[in-house]
Amino acid sequence: MERALWQLCVERVAKERFRQDAVGFLGRFALEEAEVRMIVEFDVAGLQAAGVNPMLTMGFWQELAPDRNMSLYKQRLGATDEHSAGFSAALKG
């Protein structure tokens, strides 16, 4: 997963292919169906729980999420109040 996300963060062609056909692009990698789903659905909490580096999930979000709003990113990680909504690439429970 990290290799796929890294490419999506740094390679313009990879970003374009992902935007055109996300599942098709991810077919190049040895990913399980659940892993593909997490990436396609921008499930950053699931990706981090699966061991993906938080800085990589944040970069992926900032590069390709349909709504790149960082408040939404933090909500997806579980931020529920002002204290936990502070800037962080990862929120620990």
pLDDT in tens, 2-17: 999 999 999 999 999 9
pLDDT in tens, 56-93: 999 999 999 999 988 899 889 887 766 555 555 555 54
What's the confidence (pLDDT) of residue 89?
Answer: 56
CA–CA dist 71, 51 (Å, integer):
22
Question: Does residue 12 sit within a domain?
Answer: yes
Of 39, 7, 8, 42, nearest in space to 23 by CA: 39
Question: Does residue 92 sit within a domain?
Answer: no
pLDDT in tens, 24-60: 999 999 999 999 999 999 999 999 999 999 999 999 9
Question: Does residue 59 sit within a domain?
Answer: yes
| Number of domains making up the chain | 1
CA–CA dist 85, 33 (Å, integer):
31
Question: Does residue 87 sit within a domain?
Answer: no
Question: Does residue 72 sit within a domain?
Answer: yes
Question: Does residue 86 sit within a domain?
Answer: no
**Full domain range(s) for residue 43:** 2-76
Question: Does residue 62 sit within a domain?
Answer: yes
Question: Does residue 28 sit within a domain?
Answer: yes
